[in-house]
Amino acid sequence: MLAFTVATRDPDSAVSVALAVGSGAAAVGALAALAFVAVATRGLKRGAARGAAAGRGLRRGATVGSVAGLLALLRALDGLTVVTVLFVIAPFLVAEVVLSMRRA
């Protein structure tokens, strides 16, 4: 989708920028999820532990895709600064820490 948008659309159009950012973020998220799931389930056999590890990998891939999309959108809107990067990434890091905690 990204290659089609870049090849056929005017780069100054808001729709083409939205399509490029959205499809790029989806591609980054899918590749990251694939890598996270492969690493997390490498030594596990079938069962609940493998399913939980795959779920964590998919969640982390979606997080990476979301962060990539938001940063690309900020870059397209000329709003990418160190402060905005910190404000974009910090909630995702906090959410990952909270979701990764295990019960005592």
pLDDT tens digits along 42-65: 887 888 888 888 888 999 999 999
What per-residue confidence (pLDDT) applies to 29? 95
* Of the candidates 69, 52, 55, 61, the residue with the CA atom closest to the CA atom of residue 33: 61
Tokens matching residue 49 = 């532990």
In terms of pLDDT, which residue wins out, 103 or 40? 40
Give counts: helices (H), strands (E), the chain: 4, 0
- Summary mean pLDDT of the chain: 87
Give the torsion sign (CA, 16, 22, 27, 32): positive
Q: How many CA atoms lie within 13 A of 91 on its CB side?
A: 7
Residue 104 — pLDDT band, cuts 50, 70, 90? low
Full-model pTM: 0.81
Chain centre to alpha carbon of residue 11: 23
- The whole-number average pLDDT for the span 16-40 is 91
